[in-house]
């Protein structure tokens, strides 16, 4: 059987961990490996519900992606920022205020926070249907991998979290999954942030 080849791209290098003394938020950990028994499922549902109620966030482990797959997606996620010229970025700028869509680039310092402060994040957003809109040349050969990543996360991670949240809210287990079907038209995005 021939080996599957993926387009070569530069390897993303994360920043070193900070050495500053910081008061870190202690996020709840949702372990998807624990959802295969009724007791484990109930415990993870409770933890997800409580985390969203208290902090608004949680951290997911044992989601099914291998570390090399995660590293490859970090490599791919850096491409819109490191391999696309500013002139080409302008062509794919999202028309957030004009049309309400986030597809494409959200430029650095687009949002005005307060007192003259602007945001420090640049985004590139792809709709769940990656073929809905054209993308920068550097991303085009990577779309099959991005598509696969989006589909995996939607069906294996988001749907599992939907089920846990539904249980935590005492809804039928598939209530939220039915609202988030993969093929439905909506504004679900894969967002790369730099």
- Whether the per-residue pLDDT at 2 is higher than 80: the answer is no
| pLDDT (0 to 100) of residue 57 | 94
Average pLDDT value for residue range 164-182 = 94
31 and 72 fall within a common domain: no
Average pLDDT value for residue range 82-89 = 97
- Whether the per-residue pLDDT at 123 is higher than 80: the answer is yes
Alpha carbon 194 to chain centroid, angstroms: 13
Question: Which pLDDT band holds residue 4 (cuts at 50, 70, 90)?
Answer: low
Number of structural domains found in the chain: 2
75 and 157 fall within a common domain: yes
77 and 58 fall within a common domain: no
Q: pLDDT averaged over the chain?
A: 92
- Whether the per-residue pLDDT at 168 is higher than 60: the answer is yes
| pLDDT (0 to 100) of residue 182 | 85
Average pLDDT value for residue range 101-112 = 90
Find where tokens 């295969």 sit. Answer: 36
123 and 45 fall within a common domain: no
- Whether the per-residue pLDDT at 181 is higher than 90: the answer is no
54 and 138 fall within a common domain: no
Tell me, yes or no, whether 13 lies in a domain.
Answer: no
Q: Nearest-5° angle of CA 162, CA 167, CA 173? A: 65
Question: Which pLDDT band holds residue 101 (cuts at 50, 70, 90)?
Answer: confident
101 and 39 fall within a common domain: no
- Whether the per-residue pLDDT at 186 is higher than 60: the answer is yes
104 and 176 fall within a common domain: yes
Instruction: Report pTM.
Output: 0.89
Q: What are phi and psi of 74, to 5 degrees?
A: -65, -40
Query: Measured on CA atoms in the order 63, 64, 69, 71, is the torsion positive or negative?
Result: positive
The bridge status of strand 112-114 relative to strand 117-118 is antiparallel
Tell me, yes or no, whether 44 lies in a domain.
Answer: yes
Question: Which pLDDT band holds residue 1 (cuts at 50, 70, 90)?
Answer: very low
Residue finishing a domain among 12, 40, 62: 62
Structural domain harbouring 78: 66-193
Tell me, yes or no, whether 139 lies in a domain.
Answer: yes
* Candidate from 22-36, 107-121, 136-150 with smallest mean pLDDT: 107-121
83 and 105 fall within a common domain: yes
75 and 92 fall within a common domain: yes
Q: Which two tokens stand for residue 109?
A: 């310092």
57 and 73 fall within a common domain: no
Residue 125, strand partner residues: 104, 191
- Whether the per-residue pLDDT at 180 is higher than 90: the answer is no
Tell me, yes or no, whether 10 lies in a domain.
Answer: no
Tell me, yes or no, whether 123 lies in a domain.
Answer: yes
Average pLDDT value for residue range 2-24 = 86
41 and 119 fall within a common domain: no
| pLDDT (0 to 100) of residue 158 | 94
55 and 74 fall within a common domain: no
């Amino acid at each position: 059987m021939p080996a599957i080849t993926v387009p070569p791209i530069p390897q993303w290098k994360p920043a070193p961990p900070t050495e500053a003394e910081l008061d870190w938020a202690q996020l709840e950990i949702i372990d998807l490996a624990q959802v295969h028994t009724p007791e484990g499922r109930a415990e993870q549902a409770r933890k997800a519900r409580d985390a969203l109620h208290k902090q608004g966030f949680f951290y997911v482990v044992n989601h099914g992606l291998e570390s090399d797959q995660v590293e490859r997606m970090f490599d791919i996620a850096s491409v819109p920022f490191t391999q696309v010229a500013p002139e080409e970025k302008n062509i794919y700028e999202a028309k957030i205020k004009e049309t309400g869509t986030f597809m494409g680039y959200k430029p650095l310092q687009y949002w005005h926070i307060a007192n003259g402060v602007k945001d420090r994040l640049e985004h590139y957003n792809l709709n769940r249907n990656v073929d809905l809109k054209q993308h920068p040349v550097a991303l085009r050969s990577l779309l099959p991998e991005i598509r696969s990543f989006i589909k995996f996360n939607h069906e294996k991670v988001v749907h599992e979290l939907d089920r846990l949240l539904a249980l935590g809210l005492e809804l039928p287990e598939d209530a939220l999954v039915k609202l988030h079907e993969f093929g439905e038209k909506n504004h679900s995005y894969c967002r790369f942030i730099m």
